[in-house]
Amino acid sequence: MKSSVLKWELIGIVVISVLGSALHFAFAWSGGWPPVGAIAAVNESVFEHLKLTFWPTVLYAAITYKLLKRPAAQVLIAKAAAAYVMPVAIIVLFYAYKAITGTDNLIYDIATFVVAVALGQLASYGILKVARVPVGLGWLGLFLLVFLAVAYGLFTFYPPHLSLFLDSVSGGYGIP
């Protein structure tokens, strides 16, 4: 059973990476339609790239829930863990490579994204492979996922003027 869960989590690395990459361009493809901005990157800020892991992770979790053969509480907390590990990993890896190299690099950006997705999926697997989790953790997982969904939407339309939200291309914040 654990190998089946591992298989789906590893497949998730590819699926989430591909879907997240597509979301990088979805806002532009939509002609800048604001509702798409709630789920897709609206500019080149680090913050906007964090959304690219969240929505594909949630979608993949919904699709694979039955295939994982785990209680809802366990899936919710596992996917919440993944949804928090991925953006933290992106932030740490991005600023670390930038501090070391002193420059932006598309190959490093892509590698950072894929490594962050892999770390999130492995965190999820770590939770999914345990025998049981308390039901309360499922509610916590749901709360954490909803919190992130709201935060991503809110900060897209009302971004704080902090470096994490600064569009490195336009020098602006939020939707251009």
Q: For 25-63, how does the pLDDT look when each residue is reduced to its tens digit (9 = 90+)? A: 999 999 999 999 999 999 999 999 999 999 999 999 999
Q: Is residue 174 part of a domain?
A: no
Q: How many domains does the chain have?
A: 1
Question: In the structure, what pLDDT confidence band is assigned to residue 136 with cuts at 50, 70 and 90?
Answer: confident
Report phi then psi at 42, rounded to 5.
Answer: -100, -10
151 part of a folded domain: yes
Residue 172 maps to a domain: no
In a domain, 132, yes or no: yes
Residue 176 covered by a domain? no
In a domain, 42, yes or no: yes
Residue 8 is predicted with a pLDDT of 93
* pLDDT score of 134: 84
What range defines the domain where residue 145 resides? 2-165
State the pTM of this model: 0.92
Q: Per residue in 116-154, is it b (16+ CB within 10 Å) or e — as a string?
A: bbbbbbbbbbebbbeeebeeebbebbbebbeebbeebee
| Residue 175 lies inside a defined structural domain of this protein | no
Of the candidates 27, 88, 30, the one whose C-alpha atom is nearest the C-alpha of residue 54 is 88
Residue 170 lies in a domain: no
